[in-house]
Structure 1
Amino acid sequence: MDDFFSELGKRISETADIVGKKTNEILDTEKLKSRIRTLERANERDYIDIGKSVYEKFQENEVTDESCIEFCEAIEKRQEQIEDLKKEIDRIKGE
């Protein structure tokens, strides 16, 4: 009977060690994933800021890169459409 409890104790201890290691692995992995998400969000903010900067330069006729000009012109066109839609909303509301 002592062997049974001794063996059971060893198995419980081994299982606890395995669970502890897996828990640490999961926590470490999640911490790293969180850092990755933070860095990716920072990159996204910087991409947006770069785009805004390029668009502001475009408005001042300081952009010469054709691909940037195409993006900026598309933005301008969408802005015009947005303004037209807002006017339509105002018209519908009777303002």
Structure 2
Amino acid sequence: MKDKGASDMADFFEDLGKRISDVANDIGKKTEDTLEIQRRKSDIRTLRRASERDLMDIGRMIYDKFQKGEINDTDCITLCEEIEKRDIQIEKQEEEISRIRGEV
């Protein structure tokens, strides 16, 4: 009977080793998946930032053309006029700050 007990114990440790190995493999796979997801999210952020920069550049180009009188699109003109108004307001606020500081 000792042989059966030793055999049962060996089977127990073999089964335990297999379970530990399976858990370690699962953890490894989940870690790999998490790292891959983070890499892809980072790529997405990089792509979005590049698109945002391009959109800003497009906006600057349109605004430059508006200032030169080269824009005919009424939607663009309206937005550009709003930017101009805000630029004037900004200049006035900056002048007021300088006045308050006694710089003028």
TM-score interval (norm. to shorter): over 0.9
Structure 1 residue runs of 5 or longer lacking an equivalent are: none
Query: How far off its partner does 1:29 sit?
Result: 0.9
Matched AA of 1:2:
A
Point out the structure with max Rg over C-alpha.
2
1:27 match: secondary structure = helix
Query: How far off its partner does 1:3 sit?
Result: 2.1
Runs of 4+ in 1 over 3 A off after TM superposition: none
Cα distance in 2 for residues equivalent to 1:9 and 1:63: 73
| Higher RCO (C-alpha under 8 Å, 6+ residues apart) | 1
Query: How far off its partner does 1:68 sit?
Result: 0.3
The aligned residue for residue 8 of structure 1 is 16
Cα distance in 1 for residues equivalent to 2:96 and 2:15: 79
Query: TM-score, length-normalised on structure 1?
Result: 0.97
Matched AA of 2:91:
E
Matched AA of 1:39:
L
Query: TM-score, length-normalised on structure 2?
Result: 0.88
User: Does 2:66 correspond to 1:58?
Assistant: yes
Count of aligned positions: 95
User: Does 2:27 correspond to 1:19?
Assistant: yes
